[in-house]
Structure 1
Amino acid sequence: MKNNTYQEESKNRISEDVKSQDEWHHHTGTSDLYVALKRPDIWFSLGWHDIKQRYRRSILGPFWFTISTMIMVGVLGFLYSTLLNQKIVDYLPYLGVGLIIWQFISTCVNEGCSGFIASAYIIKQIRMPLSVHVCRIACRNFIILLHSLPVVIILMFFFGTFPKVEFLLLFPGLAILFLNSVWICLVLSILCARYRDILPIVGNILQVAFFFTPIMWQKNLLKGREWAADFNPFYHLIEIIRAPILGHPINIESWASSLILLVIGFAISQLLLVRYRERIPYWL
Protein backbone atom coordinates (compact mmCIF):
# COMPACT_ATOMS: atom_id res chain seq x y z
CA MET A 1 0.00 0.00 0.00
CA LYS A 2 2.82 2.39 0.90
CA ASN A 3 4.62 1.67 -2.37
CA ASN A 4 1.43 2.29 -4.37
CA THR A 5 0.80 5.54 -2.52
CA TYR A 6 4.39 6.69 -3.09
CA GLN A 7 4.16 5.85 -6.80
CA GLU A 8 0.91 7.77 -7.16
CA GLU A 9 2.41 10.81 -5.39
CA SER A 10 5.48 10.63 -7.66
CA LYS A 11 3.30 10.45 -10.77
CA ASN A 12 1.22 13.42 -9.63
CA ARG A 13 4.34 15.41 -8.87
CA ILE A 14 5.87 14.62 -12.27
CA SER A 15 2.65 15.50 -14.07
CA GLU A 16 2.48 18.83 -12.22
CA ASP A 17 6.11 19.62 -13.18
CA VAL A 18 5.40 18.79 -16.81
CA LYS A 19 2.28 20.92 -16.78
CA SER A 20 4.20 23.80 -15.18
CA GLN A 21 6.98 23.56 -17.80
CA ASP A 22 4.39 23.42 -20.57
CA GLU A 23 2.74 26.60 -19.27
CA TRP A 24 6.13 28.27 -18.95
CA HIS A 25 7.07 27.71 -22.60
CA HIS A 26 3.66 27.71 -24.29
CA HIS A 27 1.88 30.59 -22.62
CA THR A 28 -0.11 33.32 -24.42
CA GLY A 29 -0.81 36.96 -23.79
CA THR A 30 -3.80 35.89 -21.71
CA SER A 31 -1.81 33.65 -19.37
CA ASP A 32 1.52 35.52 -19.41
CA LEU A 33 1.01 37.49 -16.21
CA TYR A 34 -0.62 34.58 -14.38
CA VAL A 35 2.20 32.16 -15.22
CA ALA A 36 4.85 34.68 -14.16
CA LEU A 37 3.23 35.47 -10.81
CA LYS A 38 3.02 31.73 -10.09
CA ARG A 39 6.83 31.49 -10.11
CA PRO A 40 8.13 33.92 -7.46
CA ASP A 41 11.17 31.68 -7.01
CA ILE A 42 12.41 32.63 -10.48
CA TRP A 43 11.96 36.40 -10.38
CA PHE A 44 13.16 36.54 -6.77
CA SER A 45 16.37 34.73 -7.77
CA LEU A 46 16.84 37.09 -10.72
CA GLY A 47 16.19 40.15 -8.56
CA TRP A 48 18.60 38.98 -5.87
CA HIS A 49 21.22 38.29 -8.54
CA ASP A 50 20.81 41.87 -9.83
CA ILE A 51 21.43 43.24 -6.34
CA LYS A 52 24.55 41.13 -5.86
CA GLN A 53 25.90 42.18 -9.26
CA ARG A 54 25.16 45.86 -8.68
CA TYR A 55 27.02 45.90 -5.36
CA ARG A 56 29.72 43.43 -6.27
CA ARG A 57 32.99 43.89 -4.32
CA SER A 58 31.22 46.33 -2.01
CA ILE A 59 31.38 45.74 1.74
CA LEU A 60 28.08 47.41 2.67
CA GLY A 61 26.33 46.51 -0.59
CA PRO A 62 22.75 47.81 -0.86
CA PHE A 63 23.06 49.40 2.57
CA TRP A 64 24.83 52.29 0.81
CA PHE A 65 21.39 53.20 -0.50
CA THR A 66 20.03 53.11 3.07
CA ILE A 67 22.88 55.26 4.39
CA SER A 68 22.43 57.91 1.68
CA THR A 69 18.68 57.95 2.36
CA MET A 70 19.19 58.40 6.08
CA ILE A 71 21.63 61.27 5.50
CA MET A 72 19.08 62.96 3.27
CA VAL A 73 16.31 62.37 5.82
CA GLY A 74 18.45 63.78 8.62
CA VAL A 75 19.43 66.93 6.73
CA LEU A 76 15.98 67.63 5.26
CA GLY A 77 14.28 66.67 8.51
CA PHE A 78 16.13 69.23 10.63
CA LEU A 79 15.79 71.87 7.88
CA TYR A 80 12.10 71.52 7.04
CA SER A 81 10.98 70.87 10.61
CA THR A 82 12.32 74.35 11.37
CA LEU A 83 10.85 75.97 8.25
CA LEU A 84 7.43 74.32 8.68
CA ASN A 85 7.43 74.71 12.47
CA GLN A 86 7.10 70.96 13.07
CA LYS A 87 8.33 68.87 15.99
CA ILE A 88 11.43 66.96 14.87
CA VAL A 89 10.26 63.87 16.82
CA ASP A 90 7.11 63.63 14.66
CA TYR A 91 8.39 65.08 11.41
CA LEU A 92 11.57 63.01 10.95
CA PRO A 93 9.83 59.58 10.84
CA TYR A 94 7.08 61.07 8.64
CA LEU A 95 9.64 62.35 6.17
CA GLY A 96 11.78 59.20 6.35
CA VAL A 97 8.98 56.77 5.48
CA GLY A 98 7.67 59.06 2.75
CA LEU A 99 11.08 59.41 1.08
CA ILE A 100 11.81 55.67 1.21
CA ILE A 101 8.45 54.74 -0.33
CA TRP A 102 8.78 57.49 -2.94
CA GLN A 103 12.25 56.29 -3.94
CA PHE A 104 10.87 52.77 -4.33
CA ILE A 105 8.00 53.98 -6.53
CA SER A 106 10.12 56.35 -8.62
CA THR A 107 12.86 53.72 -9.14
CA CYS A 108 10.29 51.13 -10.23
CA VAL A 109 8.75 53.64 -12.65
CA ASN A 110 12.09 54.68 -14.15
CA GLU A 111 13.43 51.12 -14.44
CA GLY A 112 10.04 49.89 -15.64
CA CYS A 113 10.24 52.22 -18.63
CA SER A 114 13.31 50.34 -19.84
CA GLY A 115 12.27 46.94 -18.47
CA PHE A 116 11.83 45.11 -21.77
CA ILE A 117 14.49 47.20 -23.51
CA ALA A 118 17.12 46.18 -20.94
CA SER A 119 16.03 42.52 -21.17
CA ALA A 120 15.86 42.46 -24.97
CA TYR A 121 18.72 39.95 -25.27
CA ILE A 122 16.80 37.47 -23.10
CA ILE A 123 13.41 38.09 -24.72
CA LYS A 124 14.82 37.43 -28.20
CA GLN A 125 16.46 34.14 -27.21
CA ILE A 126 14.35 32.47 -24.50
CA ARG A 127 10.64 31.74 -24.53
CA MET A 128 9.36 32.77 -21.09
CA PRO A 129 6.61 35.04 -19.72
CA LEU A 130 7.47 38.67 -20.35
CA SER A 131 5.97 39.59 -17.00
CA VAL A 132 8.91 37.87 -15.30
CA HIS A 133 11.17 40.75 -16.33
CA VAL A 134 8.97 43.38 -14.67
CA CYS A 135 8.48 41.21 -11.57
CA ARG A 136 12.26 41.06 -11.42
CA ILE A 137 12.46 44.87 -11.37
CA ALA A 138 9.77 45.18 -8.70
CA CYS A 139 11.35 42.43 -6.59
CA ARG A 140 14.89 43.83 -6.47
CA ASN A 141 13.64 47.28 -5.51
CA PHE A 142 11.28 45.76 -2.96
CA ILE A 143 14.20 43.97 -1.30
CA ILE A 144 16.01 47.32 -0.97
CA LEU A 145 12.82 48.83 0.45
CA LEU A 146 12.57 46.09 3.10
CA HIS A 147 16.01 46.79 4.53
CA SER A 148 15.52 50.56 4.43
CA LEU A 149 12.22 50.79 6.33
CA PRO A 150 13.56 49.20 9.56
CA VAL A 151 16.04 52.07 9.87
CA VAL A 152 13.12 54.50 10.24
CA ILE A 153 11.50 52.25 12.84
CA ILE A 154 14.77 52.17 14.81
CA LEU A 155 14.87 55.97 14.52
CA MET A 156 11.38 56.10 16.05
CA PHE A 157 12.60 53.98 19.00
CA PHE A 158 15.44 56.47 19.45
CA PHE A 159 12.94 59.31 19.80
CA GLY A 160 10.80 57.29 22.19
CA THR A 161 7.99 56.53 19.74
CA PHE A 162 6.81 52.94 19.56
CA PRO A 163 4.56 51.19 16.99
CA LYS A 164 0.89 50.77 17.86
CA VAL A 165 -1.71 48.17 16.90
CA GLU A 166 -2.06 49.81 13.48
CA PHE A 167 1.46 48.57 12.72
CA LEU A 168 -0.03 45.18 11.73
CA LEU A 169 -1.57 46.84 8.67
CA LEU A 170 1.95 47.43 7.35
CA PHE A 171 2.13 43.91 5.90
CA PRO A 172 -1.00 44.03 3.68
CA GLY A 173 0.06 47.56 2.74
CA LEU A 174 3.44 46.29 1.53
CA ALA A 175 1.71 43.55 -0.50
CA ILE A 176 -0.58 46.10 -2.18
CA LEU A 177 2.37 48.40 -2.87
CA PHE A 178 4.39 45.58 -4.44
CA LEU A 179 1.53 44.42 -6.68
CA ASN A 180 0.89 47.98 -7.82
CA SER A 181 4.57 48.33 -8.71
CA VAL A 182 4.31 45.18 -10.85
CA TRP A 183 1.51 46.45 -13.08
CA ILE A 184 3.07 49.93 -13.29
CA CYS A 185 6.35 48.42 -14.51
CA LEU A 186 4.51 46.15 -16.94
CA VAL A 187 2.40 48.90 -18.53
CA LEU A 188 5.38 51.24 -18.87
CA SER A 189 7.61 48.48 -20.26
CA ILE A 190 5.10 47.73 -23.01
CA LEU A 191 4.47 51.38 -23.89
CA CYS A 192 8.15 52.37 -23.84
CA ALA A 193 9.11 49.36 -25.98
CA ARG A 194 6.84 50.79 -28.67
CA TYR A 195 7.27 54.53 -28.05
CA ARG A 196 10.74 55.42 -26.72
CA ASP A 197 9.80 59.09 -26.20
CA ILE A 198 7.65 58.12 -23.23
CA LEU A 199 10.70 57.47 -21.03
CA PRO A 200 11.89 61.11 -20.71
CA ILE A 201 8.27 62.27 -20.40
CA VAL A 202 7.72 59.95 -17.43
CA GLY A 203 10.95 61.20 -15.81
CA ASN A 204 9.76 64.81 -16.03
CA ILE A 205 6.33 63.89 -14.65
CA LEU A 206 7.95 62.17 -11.66
CA GLN A 207 10.01 65.26 -10.84
CA VAL A 208 6.88 67.40 -10.76
CA ALA A 209 4.83 64.76 -8.91
CA PHE A 210 7.37 64.69 -6.06
CA PHE A 211 6.57 68.28 -5.09
CA PHE A 212 2.80 67.73 -5.41
CA THR A 213 2.87 64.64 -3.15
CA PRO A 214 2.73 65.01 0.67
CA ILE A 215 6.23 63.73 1.40
CA MET A 216 8.10 66.72 2.81
CA TRP A 217 4.87 68.48 3.77
CA GLN A 218 1.66 67.26 5.38
CA LYS A 219 -1.80 67.15 3.87
CA ASN A 220 -3.35 69.44 6.51
CA LEU A 221 -1.16 72.33 5.31
CA LEU A 222 -3.32 72.58 2.16
CA LYS A 223 -6.09 74.23 4.23
CA GLY A 224 -9.23 73.51 2.25
CA ARG A 225 -7.42 72.14 -0.80
CA GLU A 226 -6.99 68.59 0.52
CA TRP A 227 -8.58 67.32 -2.70
CA ALA A 228 -5.20 67.89 -4.40
CA ALA A 229 -3.77 65.07 -2.27
CA ASP A 230 -6.92 62.93 -2.38
CA PHE A 231 -6.69 62.70 -6.19
CA ASN A 232 -2.96 61.88 -6.05
CA PRO A 233 -2.45 58.08 -6.32
CA PHE A 234 1.13 58.37 -5.08
CA TYR A 235 -0.11 59.86 -1.82
CA HIS A 236 -2.39 56.88 -1.14
CA LEU A 237 0.33 54.33 -1.95
CA ILE A 238 2.64 56.09 0.51
CA GLU A 239 -0.04 56.52 3.16
CA ILE A 240 -0.97 52.82 3.43
CA ILE A 241 2.65 52.24 4.54
CA ARG A 242 3.33 55.44 6.46
CA ALA A 243 0.14 55.52 8.54
CA PRO A 244 0.61 52.02 10.09
CA ILE A 245 4.27 52.72 10.94
CA LEU A 246 3.51 56.07 12.56
CA GLY A 247 0.43 54.71 14.33
CA HIS A 248 -2.02 57.06 12.61
CA PRO A 249 -5.74 56.20 12.38
CA ILE A 250 -6.84 53.94 9.53
CA ASN A 251 -7.50 55.94 6.37
CA ILE A 252 -10.20 54.06 4.48
CA GLU A 253 -9.84 56.36 1.45
CA SER A 254 -6.17 55.46 0.96
CA TRP A 255 -6.81 51.72 1.23
CA ALA A 256 -9.80 51.87 -1.12
CA SER A 257 -7.94 54.04 -3.64
CA SER A 258 -4.91 51.73 -3.62
CA LEU A 259 -7.07 48.63 -4.14
CA ILE A 260 -9.07 50.27 -6.93
CA LEU A 261 -5.81 51.38 -8.55
CA LEU A 262 -4.55 47.79 -8.27
CA VAL A 263 -7.60 46.30 -9.99
CA ILE A 264 -7.70 48.89 -12.78
CA GLY A 265 -3.93 48.67 -13.31
CA PHE A 266 -3.90 44.90 -13.68
CA ALA A 267 -6.89 45.09 -16.03
CA ILE A 268 -5.02 47.57 -18.26
CA SER A 269 -1.82 45.53 -18.19
CA GLN A 270 -3.74 42.37 -19.06
CA LEU A 271 -5.41 44.07 -22.02
CA LEU A 272 -2.04 45.31 -23.28
CA LEU A 273 -0.50 41.85 -22.93
CA VAL A 274 -3.35 40.15 -24.78
CA ARG A 275 -3.11 42.60 -27.66
CA TYR A 276 0.64 43.24 -27.95
CA ARG A 277 2.38 40.27 -26.29
CA GLU A 278 3.62 38.76 -29.56
CA ARG A 279 4.72 42.10 -31.05
CA ILE A 280 7.03 43.17 -28.24
CA PRO A 281 10.09 41.13 -29.41
CA TYR A 282 9.85 42.83 -32.81
CA TRP A 283 9.69 46.28 -31.21
CA LEU A 284 12.97 45.56 -29.44
Structure 2
Amino acid sequence: MPQHLFELILFSTYAELRAERSRSYLGLIWWIAEPAMMMAAFWLVFDVILKTGGPGYLPFLLVGLTVWQWMKSCITHGGHAIWTNLGLIRQARLPVLVFPFVQMLADTIKFLFIFALLLVILWVIGYPPSLSYLALPIVFAVTLLFAAGVGFLVAAVVPLIPDLRFVIEQVLTVVMFLSGVVFALDSVPSPLREVIALNPVATLLDATRGILMHAQWPDWPALLKVCIISAIVFAIGIGVVRQLAPRYPKLAV
Protein backbone atom coordinates (compact mmCIF):
# COMPACT_ATOMS: atom_id res chain seq x y z
CA MET A 1 0.00 0.00 0.00
CA PRO A 2 1.47 3.43 -0.97
CA GLN A 3 2.51 5.55 1.98
CA HIS A 4 0.22 8.46 1.06
CA LEU A 5 -2.76 6.09 0.91
CA PHE A 6 -1.84 4.57 4.26
CA GLU A 7 -1.59 8.04 5.79
CA LEU A 8 -4.96 8.97 4.28
CA ILE A 9 -6.60 5.94 5.86
CA LEU A 10 -5.09 6.71 9.27
CA PHE A 11 -6.10 10.37 9.15
CA SER A 12 -9.61 9.52 7.92
CA THR A 13 -10.00 6.95 10.69
CA TYR A 14 -8.98 9.52 13.30
CA ALA A 15 -11.44 12.01 11.81
CA GLU A 16 -14.20 9.40 11.78
CA LEU A 17 -13.67 8.53 15.44
CA ARG A 18 -13.69 12.19 16.45
CA ALA A 19 -16.82 12.86 14.40
CA GLU A 20 -18.61 9.87 15.89
CA ARG A 21 -17.68 10.96 19.40
CA SER A 22 -18.92 14.50 18.75
CA ARG A 23 -22.25 13.19 17.41
CA SER A 24 -23.04 11.60 20.77
CA TYR A 25 -23.33 13.39 24.10
CA LEU A 26 -22.02 10.27 25.82
CA GLY A 27 -18.96 10.13 23.58
CA LEU A 28 -16.62 7.27 24.45
CA ILE A 29 -19.02 5.99 27.10
CA TRP A 30 -21.50 5.01 24.38
CA TRP A 31 -18.93 2.70 22.79
CA ILE A 32 -19.09 0.67 26.00
CA ALA A 33 -22.72 1.27 26.98
CA GLU A 34 -24.20 -0.10 23.75
CA PRO A 35 -22.68 -3.62 23.94
CA ALA A 36 -23.18 -3.63 27.72
CA MET A 37 -26.93 -3.13 27.33
CA MET A 38 -27.11 -5.92 24.76
CA MET A 39 -25.18 -8.21 27.08
CA ALA A 40 -27.50 -7.39 29.97
CA ALA A 41 -30.56 -8.20 27.87
CA PHE A 42 -29.27 -11.63 26.81
CA TRP A 43 -28.05 -12.42 30.33
CA LEU A 44 -31.49 -11.55 31.73
CA VAL A 45 -33.32 -13.71 29.20
CA PHE A 46 -31.08 -16.79 29.03
CA ASP A 47 -29.65 -16.93 32.55
CA VAL A 48 -32.20 -15.26 34.84
CA ILE A 49 -35.54 -15.97 33.14
CA LEU A 50 -34.95 -19.18 31.15
CA LYS A 51 -32.16 -20.41 33.48
CA THR A 52 -30.31 -22.02 30.57
CA GLY A 53 -27.03 -20.16 31.03
CA GLY A 54 -25.27 -22.36 33.56
CA PRO A 55 -22.00 -21.73 35.47
CA GLY A 56 -19.71 -19.18 33.89
CA TYR A 57 -22.40 -17.90 31.57
CA LEU A 58 -21.72 -14.21 32.24
CA PRO A 59 -18.06 -14.25 31.09
CA PHE A 60 -19.06 -16.62 28.29
CA LEU A 61 -21.60 -14.05 27.11
CA LEU A 62 -19.25 -11.10 27.62
CA VAL A 63 -16.56 -12.59 25.41
CA GLY A 64 -18.97 -13.77 22.74
CA LEU A 65 -20.87 -10.51 22.38
CA THR A 66 -17.72 -8.37 22.49
CA VAL A 67 -16.08 -10.24 19.62
CA TRP A 68 -19.34 -10.61 17.68
CA GLN A 69 -20.15 -6.92 17.97
CA TRP A 70 -16.72 -6.13 16.53
CA MET A 71 -17.25 -8.47 13.59
CA LYS A 72 -20.77 -7.24 12.96
CA SER A 73 -19.69 -3.59 13.07
CA CYS A 74 -16.90 -4.21 10.56
CA ILE A 75 -19.31 -5.97 8.22
CA THR A 76 -22.17 -3.48 8.46
CA HIS A 77 -20.25 -0.21 8.73
CA GLY A 78 -17.65 -1.28 6.19
CA GLY A 79 -20.39 -2.73 4.02
CA HIS A 80 -22.28 0.58 3.91
CA ALA A 81 -19.17 2.76 3.49
CA ILE A 82 -19.11 2.99 -0.31
CA TRP A 83 -22.85 3.54 -0.57
CA THR A 84 -22.91 6.32 2.03
CA ASN A 85 -19.97 8.08 0.35
CA LEU A 86 -21.20 7.93 -3.25
CA GLY A 87 -21.42 11.73 -3.36
CA LEU A 88 -17.79 12.09 -2.35
CA ILE A 89 -16.73 9.32 -4.73
CA ARG A 90 -18.32 11.24 -7.61
CA GLN A 91 -16.46 14.43 -6.70
CA ALA A 92 -13.02 13.17 -5.65
CA ARG A 93 -10.71 10.66 -7.22
CA LEU A 94 -10.12 8.39 -4.28
CA PRO A 95 -9.71 4.61 -4.30
CA VAL A 96 -13.10 3.31 -3.19
CA LEU A 97 -11.39 0.72 -0.99
CA VAL A 98 -10.39 3.54 1.35
CA PHE A 99 -13.93 4.01 2.65
CA PRO A 100 -14.52 0.44 3.93
CA PHE A 101 -10.96 0.33 5.29
CA VAL A 102 -11.56 3.47 7.35
CA GLN A 103 -14.78 2.18 8.87
CA MET A 104 -13.30 -1.22 9.72
CA LEU A 105 -10.19 0.33 11.26
CA ALA A 106 -12.33 2.69 13.34
CA ASP A 107 -14.45 -0.23 14.58
CA THR A 108 -11.30 -2.19 15.41
CA ILE A 109 -9.92 0.67 17.50
CA LYS A 110 -13.21 0.90 19.39
CA PHE A 111 -13.10 -2.86 19.91
CA LEU A 112 -9.64 -2.60 21.47
CA PHE A 113 -10.93 -0.10 24.03
CA ILE A 114 -13.85 -2.36 24.88
CA PHE A 115 -11.63 -5.45 24.93
CA ALA A 116 -9.27 -3.81 27.42
CA LEU A 117 -12.23 -3.26 29.73
CA LEU A 118 -13.35 -6.84 29.15
CA LEU A 119 -9.95 -8.12 30.26
CA VAL A 120 -10.15 -6.16 33.49
CA ILE A 121 -13.62 -7.57 34.20
CA LEU A 122 -12.46 -11.12 33.51
CA TRP A 123 -9.45 -10.74 35.79
CA VAL A 124 -11.59 -9.35 38.60
CA ILE A 125 -14.15 -12.18 38.44
CA GLY A 126 -11.52 -14.92 38.46
CA TYR A 127 -10.16 -15.43 34.94
CA PRO A 128 -6.51 -14.33 35.18
CA PRO A 129 -4.18 -13.91 32.19
CA SER A 130 -2.24 -16.92 30.95
CA LEU A 131 0.51 -17.84 28.52
CA SER A 132 -2.16 -18.65 25.91
CA TYR A 133 -2.77 -14.88 25.60
CA LEU A 134 0.15 -14.98 23.14
CA ALA A 135 -2.28 -16.54 20.63
CA LEU A 136 -4.76 -13.64 20.85
CA PRO A 137 -3.08 -11.49 18.15
CA ILE A 138 -3.26 -14.43 15.73
CA VAL A 139 -6.91 -15.15 16.52
CA PHE A 140 -7.82 -11.47 16.23
CA ALA A 141 -5.92 -11.11 12.95
CA VAL A 142 -7.91 -14.01 11.46
CA THR A 143 -11.13 -12.57 12.89
CA LEU A 144 -10.46 -9.18 11.28
CA LEU A 145 -9.47 -10.83 8.01
CA PHE A 146 -12.76 -12.74 7.90
CA ALA A 147 -14.93 -9.76 8.89
CA ALA A 148 -13.13 -7.49 6.42
CA GLY A 149 -13.58 -9.99 3.62
CA VAL A 150 -17.31 -10.25 4.21
CA GLY A 151 -17.48 -6.47 4.67
CA PHE A 152 -15.85 -5.84 1.29
CA LEU A 153 -18.26 -8.22 -0.41
CA VAL A 154 -21.18 -6.35 1.15
CA ALA A 155 -19.61 -2.98 0.31
CA ALA A 156 -19.28 -4.00 -3.33
CA VAL A 157 -22.94 -4.94 -3.77
CA VAL A 158 -24.87 -2.50 -1.54
CA PRO A 159 -24.33 0.56 -3.81
CA LEU A 160 -25.95 -1.41 -6.64
CA ILE A 161 -28.81 -2.77 -4.50
CA PRO A 162 -29.19 -0.43 -1.48
CA ASP A 163 -32.15 -2.35 -0.03
CA LEU A 164 -29.83 -5.31 0.42
CA ARG A 165 -28.50 -3.72 3.61
CA PHE A 166 -31.79 -4.56 5.38
CA VAL A 167 -31.48 -8.20 4.32
CA ILE A 168 -27.89 -8.30 5.54
CA GLU A 169 -28.96 -7.07 9.00
CA GLN A 170 -31.41 -9.97 9.25
CA VAL A 171 -28.84 -12.45 7.97
CA LEU A 172 -26.32 -11.29 10.57
CA THR A 173 -28.90 -11.78 13.32
CA VAL A 174 -29.44 -15.36 12.17
CA VAL A 175 -25.68 -15.93 11.99
CA MET A 176 -25.32 -14.64 15.55
CA PHE A 177 -27.71 -17.28 16.86
CA LEU A 178 -26.08 -20.00 14.74
CA SER A 179 -22.56 -19.21 15.93
CA GLY A 180 -22.79 -19.88 19.65
CA VAL A 181 -22.62 -16.21 20.58
CA VAL A 182 -25.25 -16.41 23.31
CA PHE A 183 -25.33 -20.15 24.02
CA ALA A 184 -22.76 -22.93 24.26
CA LEU A 185 -22.54 -25.32 21.33
CA ASP A 186 -22.40 -28.19 23.83
CA SER A 187 -26.10 -27.62 24.50
CA VAL A 188 -26.99 -28.20 20.83
CA PRO A 189 -27.94 -31.75 19.69
CA SER A 190 -25.04 -33.59 18.08
CA PRO A 191 -25.92 -33.53 14.35
CA LEU A 192 -26.74 -29.82 14.40
CA ARG A 193 -23.74 -29.04 16.61
CA GLU A 194 -21.40 -30.54 14.01
CA VAL A 195 -22.96 -28.37 11.31
CA ILE A 196 -22.70 -25.19 13.40
CA ALA A 197 -19.07 -26.03 14.19
CA LEU A 198 -18.29 -25.57 10.48
CA ASN A 199 -19.21 -21.90 10.86
CA PRO A 200 -15.98 -19.81 10.88
CA VAL A 201 -17.51 -17.42 13.42
CA ALA A 202 -18.13 -20.29 15.84
CA THR A 203 -14.49 -21.41 15.49
CA LEU A 204 -13.18 -17.90 16.18
CA LEU A 205 -15.43 -17.42 19.20
CA ASP A 206 -14.46 -20.81 20.59
CA ALA A 207 -10.77 -19.97 20.20
CA THR A 208 -11.16 -16.61 21.95
CA ARG A 209 -13.17 -18.07 24.83
CA GLY A 210 -10.70 -20.90 25.24
CA ILE A 211 -7.84 -18.42 25.63
CA LEU A 212 -9.59 -15.96 27.94
CA MET A 213 -11.64 -18.32 30.10
CA HIS A 214 -9.80 -21.63 30.14
CA ALA A 215 -6.16 -20.73 29.37
CA GLN A 216 -6.32 -23.03 26.35
CA TRP A 217 -4.42 -22.70 23.11
CA PRO A 218 -6.57 -22.52 19.98
CA ASP A 219 -7.32 -25.53 17.82
CA TRP A 220 -4.59 -24.66 15.31
CA PRO A 221 -5.81 -26.87 12.41
CA ALA A 222 -9.33 -25.43 12.74
CA LEU A 223 -7.95 -21.90 12.97
CA LEU A 224 -5.80 -22.50 9.89
CA LYS A 225 -8.87 -23.58 7.93
CA VAL A 226 -10.69 -20.41 8.95
CA CYS A 227 -7.62 -18.36 8.02
CA ILE A 228 -7.56 -19.88 4.52
CA ILE A 229 -11.29 -19.30 4.09
CA SER A 230 -10.92 -15.73 5.36
CA ALA A 231 -8.03 -15.01 2.98
CA ILE A 232 -10.07 -16.29 0.04
CA VAL A 233 -13.13 -14.25 1.03
CA PHE A 234 -10.93 -11.18 1.56
CA ALA A 235 -9.27 -11.54 -1.85
CA ILE A 236 -12.63 -12.02 -3.56
CA GLY A 237 -14.10 -9.01 -1.74
CA ILE A 238 -11.21 -6.76 -2.75
CA GLY A 239 -11.41 -8.03 -6.32
CA VAL A 240 -15.16 -7.43 -6.62
CA VAL A 241 -14.87 -3.88 -5.26
CA ARG A 242 -12.09 -3.08 -7.73
CA GLN A 243 -14.07 -4.62 -10.58
CA LEU A 244 -17.15 -2.55 -9.79
CA ALA A 245 -15.29 0.66 -8.84
CA PRO A 246 -15.81 2.37 -12.25
CA ARG A 247 -19.59 1.97 -11.88
CA TYR A 248 -19.95 3.68 -8.49
CA PRO A 249 -19.45 7.30 -9.66
CA LYS A 250 -22.24 6.79 -12.19
CA LEU A 251 -24.79 5.68 -9.59
CA ALA A 252 -27.44 8.08 -8.34
CA VAL A 253 -26.75 9.51 -4.90
Q: Which has the larger radius of gyration?
A: 1
Superposition TM-score, scaled by structure 1 size: 0.78
What's the counterpart of residue 251 of structure 1? 219
Seen in structure 2, the aligned counterparts of structure 1 residues 242 and 48 have a Cα distance that, compared at 3 Å, is farther
DSSP 3-state at the match of 1:279? helix
Q: Which amino acid aligns with 1:128?
A: L
Change in 2 beyond 3 A, CA 1:187/1:214:
same
Give ranges in structure 2 of 5+ residues lacking alignment.
Answer: none
RMSD of aligned Cα (Å): 2.4
Amino acid at match of 2:243: R
* In structure 2, C-alpha distance between the alignment counterparts of 1:204 and 1:239, rounded to whole Å: 23
Q: 1:165 aligns with which of 131, 135, 141?
A: 131
What does the per-residue CA deviation read over 1:44-75, in whole Å, with 9 as the maximum and x for residues that have no partner? 32122112112217675223221342344345
Out of 130, 135, 146, the position equivalent to 2:96 is 130
CA gap of 1:263–1:57, structure 2 versus 1, over 3 A, is: closer
Pairwise CA distance, 1:153:
1.3
Percent identity (aligned):
18
Q: Distance in 2 between matches of 1:39 and 1:236?
A: 33
Tell me the CA shift for residue 98 of structure 1: 0.7
Q: Is the 8 A contact 2:59 2:122 kept in 1?
A: yes
| Greater mean alpha carbon deviation, residues 244-253 or residues 214-223 | 244-253
Whole-angstrom distance in 1 between the partners of 2:5 and 2:205: 27
Find the aligned partners of 1:199 and 1:79 in 2 and give their Cα distance.
28
Query: Which of 184, 190, 195 is the aligned partner of 1:228?
Result: 195
Aligned equivalent of 2:78, options 112, 115, 122: 112
**Which residue of 156, 162, 170 corresponds with 1:190?**
156
How big is the shift at 1:162? 0.5
CA contact (8 A) 1:138 1:182 kept: yes
Aligned mates of 2:53, 2:77 — CA distance in 1: 36
Matches of residues 187-226 of structure 1 in structure 2 within 5 Å? Answer: 187-225=153-191, 226=193
Q: CA–CA distance in 2 between the matches of 1:257 and 1:239? A: 14
Compute the displacement of 1:79 (Å).
5.2
* Distance in 1 of aligned mates of 2:23 and 2:220: 45
Distance in 1 (CA, whole Å) between partners of 2:190 and 2:140 is 30
> How does 1:1-284 map onto structure 2 within 5 Å?
34=1, 39-56=5-22, 61-74=27-40, 76-77=42-43, 80-81=46-47, 83-84=51-52, 86-87=54-55, 90-225=56-191, 226-246=193-213, 247-284=215-252
